[in-house]
Amino acid sequence: MRKILFVASEAVPFIKTGGLADVAGSLPKYFDKEQYDIRVMIPKYMCIRQEWKDQMKYVTHFYMNLAWRSQYVGILEMEYEGVKFYFIDNEYYFAGPKPYGNIYEDIEKFAFFSKAAISALPSLDFRPDIIHCHDWQTGLVPVFLNDSFQDNPFFQGIKTVMTIHNLKFQGIWDMKTVKDITGLNASYFTPDKLEAYGDANYLKGGIVYADAVTTVSDTYAEEIKMPYYGEHLDGLMRARANSLRGIVNGIDYNEYNPETDKYLVHNYNAVNFRKEKVKNKTALQQELGLDVDPKKMMIGIVSRLTDQKGFDLIAYVMDELCQDEVQFVVLGTGEERYENMFRHFAWKYQGKVSANIFYSEAMSHKVYGSCDAFLMPSQFEPCGLSQLMSLRYGTVPIVRETGGLKDTVEPYNEYENRGTGFSFTNYNAHEMMHTVRYAEHIYYDKKREWNKIIDRGMAMDFSWNNSAKKYEELYNWLAG
């Protein structure tokens, strides 16, 4: 029986700000229980909903040295869907309305969390063979493990995996402060270890000291070895190339299932979508005040409205696209200029554009379950989950070929009758517009071909089962 501990800063259903929470919370339950004992450890944030806190059981507490301070570490636990979750408690660090705040506070908070996660193990009656760390917030786990814990036989031989969900976020702060917070000695703050461009870098420490490094798609694993995507760490990624692999994320096929989705007006499946799915479209058109027309092509966008997601491309040609026979349904929040851009087009093209500048789980399911196509022209996309949800719901993705989008959406090829979506290569607004218009042409003029694209998309399997098998291979290789 291999024992694995996931250490992460968030996990569904307890706390979520992004895709990382889905991986940490959903993936563990898909492993073969006979062979793998997978548990998860996250902070016990004050902002976790009371209904979860009420189910947590106190395990123990102790005091831990973090450099010159002595800090309280409480441990609570609960089981959820067959997986044991541990919560590290410290009200000084984990108070507040959100899991993350000012970076200077987060730097100390996650140094504390990383050290507490390791320190808690002997009192848990659980000694993992592998600690699987996620993103910069846990980057110090492999570093601390290499440092002060090696004198204790309990910790010798524990291996570590570092998963990069988005290389853009690295946990960077000035060296003097980080030395003071962590208590690590000066030898750790050199260019081959935690130092990067004069500062201390948590994620870099994790990448240097982990036994294996993964990221959330094959293409992204290749891209981050190059300066354009490498966020100043491309040299390190090349140096660690032999221990770096990409494993694409999955989605929860029970939660995202058009046949049982409680948010949809009409449920449908891969067999009857031709007749049933359109009923969701007309219902959504009515709800959002768009022109009600079952034949009109509806394009959905569910996203953070940021540069990373390609909204500068959309801004550049949106006026032109609105001249076409299409409707746009946008859901999300983000940079003010993009929020206002969509509000403007919703005002200018009433009946054609709906701008929903908020986030709602129910509305996101309605968009996936109602639209004909889904637009996702990301500048970079480590994995991306929206295109996987689109495929699952028979909503044809239109994406840029980067990261996980390239790995999961096969571009339509009209000569070979292949493909599950449409894609373009260069980060260029007119190339994107050309691809959207090509999709419109297939939708309106070759309806049978369009439906076959949906057939192939809905037949794909991007459930967590696939990801879990790849991680099992990695753990077996690592544990030897």
Q: Is 277 annotated as a binding residue?
A: no
Q: How many CB atoms sit inside 10 A of residue 143's CB?
A: 25
Token pair for 44: 């016990």
In this structure, are residues 25 and 12 in contact, taking their beta carbons and an 8 Å threshold? yes
Angle between helices 311-321 and 336-348 (to 10 degrees): 10
CA distance 394 to 456: 9
The phi-psi region of residue 134 (left if phi > 0; otherwise alpha if psi is between -120 and 50; otherwise beta) is beta
Token pair recorded at residue 368: 């996936």
DSSP structural state of residue 309: G
Q: Which helix (H) or strand (E) holds 253?
A: none
Measured in whole angstroms, the distance separating CA 408 from the mean position of its chain's CA atoms is: 15
Per DSSP, the residues of 429-450 read: HHHHHHHHHHHHHHHHH-HHHH
Strands 199-201 and 69-80, by their bridges, are: unpaired
DSSP-derived 3-state class of residue 41: strand
Check whether the bond before 13 is cis (ω within 30° of 0): yes
Extended beta strands in 253-408, E state: 297-302, 326-331, 353-356, 373-376, 396-400
**Strand 212-215 with 159-164, pairing:** parallel
**114 contacts 80 by C-beta, under 8 angstroms:** no
Instruction: For residue 102, count other CB atoms closer than 10 A to its CB.
Output: 8
Among the listed residues 361, 422, 408, 371, the one whose alpha carbon sits nearest the alpha carbon of residue 393 = 371
Residue identified by tokens 């000291």 is 209
- Summarize the annotated binding site for ADP-alpha-D-glucose as residue ranges: 16
- Summarize the annotated binding site as residue ranges: 16
